């Protein structure tokens, strides 16, 4: 009996709770209506009073009873509401809130049914979750959907003035290596060159001082020593310029010779380090990189040998001018009467003739002790340099042969198979062409490989800067990365996936379901709507139209009917009628797959050594989960994108069109 009573009580309480929830829902609906808040209760009260005054008294039920006269109407006093309203738990209104939200979503879905492209199911669920968040956080948190100002994210590059300074240092050091030894031949450079050198090194003094901390440290002492040394060298240079050609050769060497100490800056010049980056950018792949490195080693070794031979020639000239030098004993009789250029030529021939080890006996029999020491030292230095040069070249050639042998194993295996099972010449060429393209493919380390090499902080910073520069031209993503720095890190580390494709590899074809948005990181992608990219178009990619976006683009209304929506950005105006588009780095394909169900409309073929970044809608949803403001801005972009997409003609749809910036 007690159980039945408890069940009835629970049933009654449940009905009361449902009634309260219904009252709350109706109250919220009335509150949202556009009516005056103060006039509402007064109008209801006045209507009730008018109905009570106009309603006649009911006739008596018993005819024998005399009805009592009705009391005279008097002014009624309205009781003020209680100061303590009834308190409701927040949980009691969740059902009503959900019903209101679901009804609103259903209305939006009914409106979307009339359009061609609809919002994806995952984004629709995210919109519902976002609506729940807005209702639950009402009065406590405001969601901002204002589009932030967009900045173009680009690679961080050194300033131009620092590049010019590095190039100037390299030029001055190279000229010093040539002009200072020529002092032995009484060569004096023009005063303009001396003035320019003084001005340049004076302006370069601030570059040698790098303050690292306030307290005195080892780095500060090194910087202070560099500055003091540069000041001393500058004073000696000014003294040499003021003295001119009047001092003797020994004094000129004392004033100008210490400038050779500035060669210590050669390893710190940014221009030299920038060359390696440029060569690495132009020559991707292990084999090409090894060939370029071998060529650079040979070139640098030859340049150093020529500079060393120049110094050796000038040293032989200075040694031969002595009273017992080779000029007076074994040189031509009219050597001192020759011109400077002829004297340099004769001295160069003498220096080269004394280098071979077979001349060691003759070198020992020279009259001057300085000549004997110089000849033996030159022979030893040449032997050392030749051995180093041979070692460097041999190592480079062995590395090149190793890579070529590894890449040629597949061709050898195919040749052995075709010798046993011969096929037609056309098929054999096709097979060997495919192997040749596969060999040229560049295998870059993946994100996981880099993550194993670097700590979490460094590889996170690496991906955020490198990948962020690739997607920085997409204005929506760039704006969110500027506004939410954590979004940039999560997007680059968790969302974007790198993809290095083989040369001329097909990326997609019409009709297939699109699952990823593609960003071109390196080289290019050829795209053609409707038909396949032919072999002739692949072999001549420069004939295609280049699809680029203007820098500094913003959210504008370009006649699409929706504020904040951009029309399709046209191609660059060129005199090419090709139907193939060349998508260059920092541009993208298939953005529509992020917001709706999208099928490819054309063909896309990669260029040589093309690298891509891929972004799927699932990854973008996972990154934005739990971030209401970020999701709100993504939803705004998605609806604007789909609205502009639906207003386009079907013939204008493409996989590379730029709908919303």
- pLDDT, tens digit, for every residue of 352-393? 999 999 988 888 888 888 899 999 999 999 999 889 889 988
CB contact at 8 A, 580 and 527: yes
Task: Look up tokens 């309260």; give the residue.
Answer: 20
CB contact set of 585 (below 8 Å; sequence gap of 6+): 470, 520, 521, 522, 523, 524
Would strands 545-547 and 581-583 be described as parallel, antiparallel, or unpaired? parallel
With DSSP H G I counted as helix, E B as strand and the rest as coil, what are the percentages for the chain, rounded to 5?
A: 60, 5, 35
* For range 55-80, the mean pLDDT: 42
Could you tell me what percent of the chain has a pLDDT over 90?
Answer: 12
Could you tell me what percent of the chain has a pLDDT over 70?
Answer: 65
Calculate helix-pair angle for 218-243, 249-256, nearest 10 degrees: 150
Domain boundaries, the chain: 154-282, 305-441, 447-652
Express each pLDDT in 452-461 by its tens digit: 888 888 888 8
* For range 201-219, the mean pLDDT: 64
CB contact at 8 A, 24 and 88: yes
In this model, does residue 317 exceed pLDDT 80? yes
In this model, does residue 292 exceed pLDDT 50? yes
Q: Which range in 91-95, 133-137, 288-292 is most confidently predicted, on average pLDDT?
A: 288-292
Residue 18 or residue 204, greater confidence: 204
pLDDT grade for 103, boundaries at 50, 70 and 90 = very low
Superfamily of the domain at 447-652: Jelly Rolls (2.60.120.10)
Q: How close are the terminal C-alpha atoms of the chain, in Å?
A: 71
* For range 33-61, the mean pLDDT: 43
Question: In this structure, what token pair is assigned to residue 574?
Answer: 């060129």
Instruction: Return d(Cα 225, Cα 419) in angstroms, integer.
Output: 72
Q: What is the pTM of this model?
A: 0.54
Express each pLDDT in 127-154 by its tens digit: 666 665 554 544 444 434 333 333 344 4
Express each pLDDT in 405-446 by its tens digit: 776 777 788 888 888 888 888 888 888 877 776 665 556 777
Average pLDDT of the chain to the nearest whole number: 73
């Amino acid at each position: 009996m007690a159980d039945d009573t408890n069940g009835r009580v629970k049933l009654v309480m449940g009905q009361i709770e449902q009634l309260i929830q219904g009252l709350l829902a109706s109250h919220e609906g009335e509150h949202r209506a556009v009516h005056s808040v103060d006039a509402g209760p007064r109008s209801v009260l006045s209507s009730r009073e008018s109905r009570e005054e106009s309603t006649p008294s009911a006739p008596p039920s018993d005819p024998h009873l005399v009805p009592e006269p009705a009391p005279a109407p008097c002014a009624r006093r309205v009781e003020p509401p209680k100061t303590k309203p009834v308190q409701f738990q927040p949980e009691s209104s969740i059902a009503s809130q959900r019903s209101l939200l679901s009804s609103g979503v259903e209305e939006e879905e009914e409106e979307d049914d009339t359009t061609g492209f609809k919002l994806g199911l995952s984004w629709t669920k995210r919109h519902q979750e976002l609506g729940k968040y807005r209702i639950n956080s009402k009065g406590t948190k405001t969601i901002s959907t204002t589009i932030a100002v967009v900045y173009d994210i680009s690679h961080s590059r050194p300033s131009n003035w620092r590049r010019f300074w590095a190039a100037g240092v390299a030029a001055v050091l190279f000229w010093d290596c040539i002009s200072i030894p020529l002092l032995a031949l009484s060569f004096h450079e023009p005063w303009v060159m001396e003035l320019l050198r003084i001005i340049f090194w004076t302006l370069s003094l601030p570059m040698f001082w790098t303050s690292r901390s306030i307290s005195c440290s080892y780095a500060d002492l090194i910087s202070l020593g560099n500055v003091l040394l540069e000041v001393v060298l500058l004073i000696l240079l000014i003294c040499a310029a003021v003295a001119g050609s009047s001092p003797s050769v020994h004094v000129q060497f004392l004033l100008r010779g210490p400038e050779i100490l500035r060669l210590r800056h050669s390893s710190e010049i940014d221009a030299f380090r920038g060359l390696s980056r440029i060569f690495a950018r132009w020559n991707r792949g292990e084999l090409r990189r090894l060939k370029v490195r071998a060529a650079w080693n040979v070139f640098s070794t030859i340049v150093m040998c020529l500079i060393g031979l120049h110094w050796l020639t000038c040293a032989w000239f200075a040694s031969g001018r002595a009273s017992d030098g080779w000029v007076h004993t074994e040189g031509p009789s009219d050597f001192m009467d020759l011109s400077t250029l002829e004297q340099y030529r004769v001295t160069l021939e003498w220096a080269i003739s004394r280098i071979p080890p077979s001349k060691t006996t003759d070198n020992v029999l020279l009259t001057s002790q300085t000549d004997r020491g110089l000849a033996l030292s030159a022979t030893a230095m040449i032997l050392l340099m030749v051995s180093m040069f041979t070692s460097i070249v041999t190592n480079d050639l062995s590395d090149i042969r190793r890579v070529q042998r590894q890449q040629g194993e597949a061709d050898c295996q195919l040749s052995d198979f075709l010798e046993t099972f011969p096929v037609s010449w056309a098929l054999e060429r096709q097979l060997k062409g495919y192997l040749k393209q596969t060999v040229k493919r560049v295998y870059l380390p993946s994100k996981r490989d880099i993550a194993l090499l670097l700590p979490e902080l460094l590889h996170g910073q690496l991906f955020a800067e490198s990948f962020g520069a690739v997607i920085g031209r997409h204005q929506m993503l760039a704006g969110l990365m500027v506004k939410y720095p954590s979004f940039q890190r999560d997007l680059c580390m968790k969302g974007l996936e790198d993809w290095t494709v083989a040369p001329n590899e097909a990326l997609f074809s019409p009709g297939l379901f699109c699952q990823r948005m593609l960003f071109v990181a390196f080289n290019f992608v050829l795209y053609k709507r409707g038909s396949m990219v032919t072999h002739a178009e692949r072999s001549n990619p420069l004939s295609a139209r280049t699809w680029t976006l203007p820098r500094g683009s913003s959210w504008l209304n370009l006649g699409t009917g929706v504020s904040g929506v951009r029309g399709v950005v046209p191609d660059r105006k060129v005199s090419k009628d090709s139907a193939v588009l060349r998508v260059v780095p920092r541009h993208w394909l298939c953005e529509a797959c992020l917001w709706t169900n999208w099928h490819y409309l054309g063909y896309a073929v990669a260029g040589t050594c093309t690298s891509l970044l891929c972004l799927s809608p699932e990854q973008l949803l996972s990154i934005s989960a739990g971030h209401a403001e970020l999701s709100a801005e993504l939803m705004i972009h998605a609806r604007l994108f789909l609205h502009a997409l639906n207003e386009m003609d079907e013939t204008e749809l493409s996989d590379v069109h730029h709908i919303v910036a």
